[in-house]
Amino acid sequence: MSGGLKKRAVEILRRLKQRFPDARCTLDHRNPLQLLVATILSAQCTDERVNKITPALFGRYRSAEDFAQADLHELEQMIRSAGFYRNKAKNIRAACSVVANHYGGRVPDTMEELLSLPGVGRKTANVILGNCFGKNEGIVVDTHVARISRRMGLTRANVPEKIERDLMAILPREEWTLFSHLLIALGRSICKANRPDCPSCPVPDLCDYARKEPVD
């Protein structure tokens, strides 16, 4: 990885921190268990939609044991609007069963242990580790992060795991969690999938896409 690319990535990070000083995880949660459930729900679903579901959900189920013992049909109906609700309900109940039975009801705080939970991949594990435990073990690669990091020229990869490795190689470790929040904030407000608003972007001179696109 070239030093020039690292320097560009760090400058992008600096400007995005100035533009989005309040960037954070937008899934509402009060503890690691709630974030685990919310992140499972967020697959192919907006955080806004998840946040409409979780107040009633977390009022009904307050512990890992509650979720583990939940009636599957009832759980499915409570999360139905998140899409893929049958699979998500099974994963939530199964993951919480492991948390309740093997971890004393506390969500584990290591990558290896989190990946052992049903329905939990690196993305979900990174979300929990970074936002609940302050551990930068990796970088969350969602659709925004994948799209924008490729547009900017920070990676050429298409597979999330490869994108993550490329970004980890050029960004300071202590900023990995925040960088995802910053790209997500940029993606929701400016660098949208259909039509990125390059004139409003704080880093057009550092972005491969913007430098090739004619700016009106």
Span 121-150, pLDDT tens digits: 999 999 999 999 999 999 999 999 999 999
| Cα 4–chain centre separation | 27
* Predicted pLDDT at 215: 44
- Indicate the length of the chain as a whole number: 216
Which of 28-42, 52-66, 200-214 bottoms out in mean pLDDT, i.e. has the lowest?
Answer: 200-214
CB distance 167 to 129 below 8 Å = no
pLDDT tens column, 36-85: 999 999 999 999 999 999 999 999 999 999 999 999 999 999 999 999 99
Q: Which of 65, 64, 94, 89 is nearest to 75 (CA)?
A: 89
Active site residues: 123, 142
Examine domains 3-23+139-212 and 32-132 and report if their fold is the same: no
Instruction: Parse the chain into domains and list their residue ranges.
Output: 3-23+139-212, 32-132
Name the fold adopted by 32-132: Endonuclease III; domain 1 (1.10.340)
| CA-based nearest residue to 140, from 175, 98, 93, 191 | 175
The answer to whether the beta carbons of residues 53 and 79 sit under 8 Å apart is: yes
CATH class (in words) of the domain with range 3-23+139-212: mainly alpha
